[in-house]
Structure 1
Amino acid sequence: MNLQQHKNIIQENGFTVINNIFSTEEIEKISEVIQNIDTSKETFRKSEDLFAIRQFLKEIPEIKDLIFNENLQKIIKDIFGDNYFVVKSIYFDKPEKSNWYVAYHQDLTISVDKKVPLENFGPWTTKQNQFAVQPPLDILENIFTIRIHLDDTDENNGALKVVPKSHAKGIYRPETIDWNVETEHICNVEKGGVMMMKPLLLHGSNRTTNGMKRRVIHIEFSDKELPEELNWPERMNLNLTHNFII
């Protein structure tokens, strides 16, 4: 893996794909843990079109060692840096018959532990007793997202479509996209591969048309501390030098 090259690609285009990060056996172990969990908690959302687990690493702590294998730890250390920690994690399962469609958008909010009036923080939302807020731009610009694919994903089963380099343009309203200037790229990812992206990258996904499921573990990382009034509720520190997660 030429990680320096991938680091340069992310800085330039806002995303990159690296396949063969997890073996078939590792993906099967991760899938097995997910299949055997109690899905009745309020952080779990289940419908015909979507099954999602919010605060994924917090809800299923036994899965951490499977996810942060040596390959992923090396990616985080070499591309992000030593000081990055987990700030958010979600598991998505788009079932085979899912018609879940996601319009182009940027990920403009972070999860926080409470709602407090702070300059340059807002608007606020609350879902299932979880608080989210749009923070100042420098916090968003510093976040990296890793999406771990448990299934082969292409344009026929909801692979992410992105607008390359849109992450470098600040807040970019989807309705203002000028397709005479911008291009669209479909991010095909193999089972066991990862896609990395910056949250400000414009991205969306189409409906599934080939009857194949698409399961993704979405993890966000930052190295920025929040103002003292706020905390990252899902914060998980990574000790990447000793292959050990605390």
Structure 2
Amino acid sequence: MNYEQQKTELAKNGFSIINNFYTAEEVDEILKCIETSEQTGDSFMKTRDLFAIRQLIKNIPDLKKLIFNSNLLTLLGSDYFLTKAIYFDKPSQSNWFVAYHQDLSISVNEKAALPHYTNWTYKKEQYGVQPPIQILEDTVTVRIHLDKTNSENGALKVIPKSHLNGVIRPETKEWNLENESICEVDQGGVMLMKPLTLHASSRTTNGKRRRVIHLEFNKHSLQKPLTWLEYYDFSSSYHSV
């Protein structure tokens, strides 16, 4: 399958949607793998409004053979590697919503005083940092939808082309909500997004779940001594299977 149109849309608008990326059987296998895994430790977070698993591939390595299929390799090519993986489960009665924001933080192995690496955080025993702008511009986010997602169960809302404006302070309101797009995705579909694209999600109103695997990919090494915390070269692993 050729994904050139979707990659062009991603570069132009900051997002794109590809349905039928995973089959219903593949989605079932992914969900079964997650549900039967041991869910203990700091990487697992469960509240009334959200269940999340950070460092997903490290915690559930059996997902590798289910997620990193030929479609994903064709879409991204061999230059890209995984840098972050999170599982989100927005329960059917969730009142959780997220205001417009950009994804500005990456996960790294340690903290170091380096130019252009700012806004350090330390949460759940892992370091986060805002990297140089080129790192963010060249990141590709792939959101795998394990449930059909629409405006009633928390589909992402985005501001098209907002990724072209660099880092935006939310309080400046440097965007036009009239251009807002709601990204409805079928079960087994994926949403591609640039992390600098302004995005938000609403509360669930239809009593249906929204389970998503959020993957981030990049092709750049970080300035030493930093390395990507969740680095995984899926393309070489795929070829070796």
TM-score scaled by structure 2?
Answer: 0.96
Q: Distance in 2 between matches of 1:150 and 1:231?
A: 30
Q: Distance in 2 between matches of 1:29 and 1:23?
A: 10
* CA RMSD, 1 decimal: 1.5
Give the C-alpha shift of residue 181 in structure 1: 7.6
1:66–1:180 Cα change, 3 Å: closer
Task: Give unmatched runs, 5+ long, in structure 1.
Answer: none
Instruction: Give the secondary structure class of the aligned counterpart of 2:179.
Output: coil
1:57–1:25 Cα change, 3 Å: same
Output aligned runs, 1:114-193, within 5 Å: 114-178=110-174, 183-193=179-189
Instruction: Give the secondary structure class of the aligned counterpart of 1:123.
Output: strand
Output aligned runs, 1:15-54, within 5 Å: 15-54=15-54
1:68 equivalent in alignment to 2:68? yes
Q: Deviations over 1:205-239 (max 9, x none)?
A: 00000000000000000000001110101000122
Instruction: Give the secondary structure class of the aligned counterpart of 1:126.
Output: strand
* Equivalent AA in structure 2 for residue 92 of structure 1: F
Q: Is the 8 A contact 1:86 1:222 kept in 2?
A: yes
Q: Deviations over 1:135-189 (max 9, x none)?
A: 1111111100000000000000000000000001001122223565861000000
* Equivalent AA in structure 2 for residue 3 of structure 1: Y
* Equivalent AA in structure 2 for residue 193 of structure 1: G
Return 159-168 or 178-187, whichever deviates more: 178-187
Among residues 190, 209, 213, which one is paired with 2:209 in the alignment? 213
Instruction: Give the secondary structure class of the aligned counterpart of 2:203.
Output: coil
Give the C-alpha shift of residue 25 in structure 1: 0.6
Q: Is the 8 A contact 2:160 2:197 kept in 1?
A: yes
Q: Is the 8 A contact 1:43 1:128 kept in 2?
A: yes
Instruction: Give the secondary structure class of the aligned counterpart of 2:49.
Output: coil
Aligned residues: 241
TM-score scaled by structure 1?
Answer: 0.94
Identity %: 51
Q: Distance in 2 between matches of 1:172 and 1:126?
A: 23
Give 1:232's aligned residue.
228
Q: Is the 8 A contact 1:94 1:215 kept in 2?
A: yes
Instruction: Give the secondary structure class of the aligned counterpart of 1:212.
Output: coil
Task: Give unmatched runs, 5+ long, in structure 2.
Answer: none
Give 1:244's aligned residue.
239
Instruction: Give the secondary structure class of the aligned counterpart of 1:239.
Output: helix
